[in-house]
Amino acid sequence: MSEGVVAGESDAADFRMQVVAESIRLFAEQGYESTTVDAVAAAAGVSRRTLFRQFRSKEDFIFADHEQLLVLVAEQLADAEESGADPWWSVCVGAERVFAHFATHRDLAAGRYRVVSRVPALRDRELVTTYRYQRLFEESLRRRLPDVPRVRQVAYAAAVTGAHNHLLRQMVRGDESATADALRAELQRIHSTMIEPVHRDSSPGNAVTVVMHGADLSADDVADIVRKRLTWHAVP
């Protein structure tokens, strides 16, 4: 790759993925502290100077694709806002996009997991990066749903992020059941909690329960949701 490495968005993304892959390989082989910036630059086919035009520190190398993903998720949330798409589900779509990236690059994600688990500084950086996704989700909900209590927005964003992170960890550990479909099913359950299920008219004893659910849920799953909703919203 030439020194003019970022001629376009595609080139920039490819460069970042190359840096991530080579830094993970070198950190795994030589250790994080023992791997020099020059070694990563040589493996990526660029100079040290070019590398530092794109990254501020050695920690940045291994999380470079996260930086690009954060930009893409922010753009997706902005597009959803402009189009008027469901604010709650738009957050779920953002989480699915991140999961899809790492499912596509599963070996890379697994290698990073092994490296990060051995280096405290990288574990701290990973926690900060995870929280940045959650903050993006919270900020989107706050802009689009200003009348919804902040605690509900935070709880929802945390639930979506937590479900994503749990299944991502299971996937990189080799759990074949941790799939995009499994994530979607969990996100649909989380999303269903944000749909007001009970609407009452003024006539005593009359109530209508409306439940939105994913098409993959069984009749027993739907019945369980209805029972819970009726319990939560029961009139004393």
**Torsion from C-alpha of 42, 44, 49, 53, nearest 10 degrees:** -170
Question: Mean pLDDT: which of 4-18, 43-57, 90-104 is highest?
Answer: 90-104
Instruction: Give me the pLDDT at residue 225, please.
Output: 55
Say yes or no to pLDDT of 227 above 60: no
- How many beta carbons lie within 10 A of that of residue 213, not counting itself? 15
**Torsion from C-alpha of 22, 57, 164, 183, nearest 10 degrees:** -30
Instruction: Give me the pLDDT at residue 234, please.
Output: 38
For CA atoms 56, 61, 63, 65, the dihedral sign is: positive
Distance of CA 197 to the CA centre of its chain: 27
Half-sphere exposure of 203 toward its Cβ, with a 13 Å CA cutoff?
3
Q: Is 4 helix (H, G, I), strand (E, B) or coil?
A: coil
DSSP-H helix ranges across the chain: 9-30, 37-44, 48-54, 58-62, 64-83, 87-104, 106-118, 120-144, 150-172, 180-192, 219-232
215 Cβ neighbours under 8 A, 6+ residues apart: none
Instruction: Give me the pLDDT at residue 188, please.
Output: 96
The closest of 6, 59, 57, 12 to 32, measured between CA atoms, is: 59
176 Cβ neighbours under 8 A, 6+ residues apart: none
Q: Is 18 helix (H, G, I), strand (E, B) or coil?
A: helix
Q: What is the DSSP letter of 45?
A: T
Task: Kindly state the average pLDDT of the residues 168-192.
Answer: 95
Q: How many residues does the chain have?
A: 236
Higher pLDDT, 208 or 85: 85
Higher pLDDT, 235 or 130: 130
Task: Kindly state the average pLDDT of the residues 2-9.
Answer: 45
Task: Kindly state the average pLDDT of the residues 26-40.
Answer: 91
Say yes or no to pLDDT of 169 above 70: yes
Q: What is the DSSP letter of 42?
A: H
- Provide the whole-model pTM: 0.74
Would you say 111 and 28 are in contact if contact means Cβ atoms under 8 Å apart?
yes
Average pLDDT, the chain: 83
In whole angstroms, what is the distance from residue 99 CA to residue 109 CA? 10
Higher pLDDT, 12 or 165: 165
